[in-house]
Chain A
Amino acid sequence: MATGTALSQDTGRDLARQEPTRGAPRYRPVVDILETGDELRVMAELPGVRAGDIDINFEKGLLTIHGKVEARQAAETTYVLREYGIGDFYRAFEISESIDASRISAEYADGVLVLHLPKSEKAKARKIEVRAR
């Protein structure tokens, strides 16, 4: 790859087969993943989830995002139209291990989760100056 990144090509690869074996269905949140000079940024849409109910885990290059969703309406609601199901948001990604796990940060606003995954020092693209004599 000519992009000069130190991240593996598998970055952002979706790990399929996340179907839960039982219980309510899980929904796959849509995401944007982009890479800047010193971080990998994941933006996931988790509407209706409280910030405290988002569980993010990063271990051995596997990033998982789990957002717990409460029942969207009271149980006795009469629906005229129902296009949303009920179920948690869940998604897992393979991310290169050259991420500095201790500095991962996340913010959540208006239903959008923004995850900052800083690249570890050795993974950062470095420009080497050539001194002229």
Chain B
Amino acid sequence: MLIGNLIPWRAKGHELAASERPAVDTLERFNVEVDRLFDRFFREPWWGGSQFLPELRSGGWSWSPSLDLNESEKEITVRAEIPGVDPQDFDISVSGNVLTISGEKKSESEERGDNVYRAERRFGSFRRSIALPEVVDLEKISADYNKGVLTIHLAKSERATARRIPVSTKK
């Protein structure tokens, strides 16, 4: 018995019964969406980035990008999808173990005055700070921007890389 069949508006077809997978996928996707919603709520200043009350917007940053952060043996890679930014407008800094990505996404000024049907893209300054899981070597940080994706490579500092210590025995 599928739980989906208990929900009246879903019980009508056999589609769900045929395979359980789509329901699982949908549920998973829903979870991710809800997580994101909470994430964004707490990460974005709702008083500053208000779409409804632009006069309340603070002079500071108005949005912050999502991040993927992964760790290999030697480095930490941070990836952010921030399309449409001039690479020179990025400002990346590391202080202690906190990485900060900020910058400004400039909107094409010619747009004003045209007839706008949809305006979903976000422009203006953005900022995101994140604590890195390990100490990084400040000398070995590189960043590249390709197809709207910013990738930052941070080499772990020598002290942080795990070292295998051989145990010797005396005979």
Interface size bucket, A side? Answer: 35 or more
Q: Which residues of A contact B83 (CB under 8 A)?
A: 45-47, 110-112
| A4 vs B22: C-alpha distance when bound (angstroms) | 46
Q: Do the beta carbons of A33 and B118 come within 8 Å of each other? A: yes
CB A5 to nearest CB in B, in angstroms, measures: 7
* A47-B82, A110-B147 known; A34+B120 contact, CB < 8 A: no
Is B25 in the interface zone, CB < 8 Å from A? yes
Residue of B nearest to A95 (CB): B117
B114 touches A35 (CB 8 A): yes
Identify which of residues 34-68 in chain A touch chain B, using a CB-to-CB cut-off of 8 Å.
34-36, 40, 43, 45-50
Q: Known contacts being A34-B111, A48-B148, is A78 close to B70, with CB within 8 Å?
A: yes
CB distance from A108 to the nearest CB of B (A): 8
Establish whether residues B70 and A79, one from each chain, have CB atoms under 8 Å apart when the complex forms: yes
Asked if A129 CB lies within 8 Å of chain B CBs, one says: no
Main secondary structure of the interface of B (DSSP, over half): mixed
Q: Which residues from chain B contact A21 at a C-beta distance below 8 Å?
A: 22
- B116 contacts the other chain (Cβ, under 8 Å)? yes
How far is it, in angstroms, between the C-alpha of A108 and the C-alpha of B145 when the chains are bound?
Answer: 14
- Which of B69, B72, B111, B147 is packed against the most chain A CB atoms within 10 Å? B147
Contact, CB under 8 Å: B70 / A80? yes
Classify chain B: how many residues form its interface, as a range.
Answer: 35 or more
Determine the distance from Cα of A36 to Cα of B111 in the docked complex, in whole angstroms: 9
Contact partner of B148 (CB less than 8 A), chosen from A22, A85, A112, is: A112
Measured in the bound complex, the distance between the Cα atoms of B120 and A30 in whole Å is 6
CB-defined contacts of A123 to chain B, threshold 8 Å: none
Tell yes or no: B79 within 8 A of A by CB: yes
A35 and B76 contacting across the interface, CB-CB below 8 Å: no
B98-127 toward A: CB 8 Å interface, digit per residue (1/0)? 000000000000010011111111100000
Give 9 new A-B contacts, CB below 8 A, not counting A81-B130, A110-B145, A111-B84.
Answer: A12-B117, A31-B121, A33-B117, A45-B83, A83-B68, A85-B32, A110-B83, A111-B149, A112-B148
9 contacting pairs across A/B (C-beta < 8 A): A32-B121, A35-B116, A36-B114, A45-B148, A50-B147, A81-B70, A85-B32, A110-B148, A111-B81
Residues of chain B whose beta carbon lies under 8 Å from any beta carbon of chain A: 21-22, 25, 29, 32, 36, 39, 66-72, 76, 79, 81-85, 111, 114-122, 130, 133, 145, 147-149
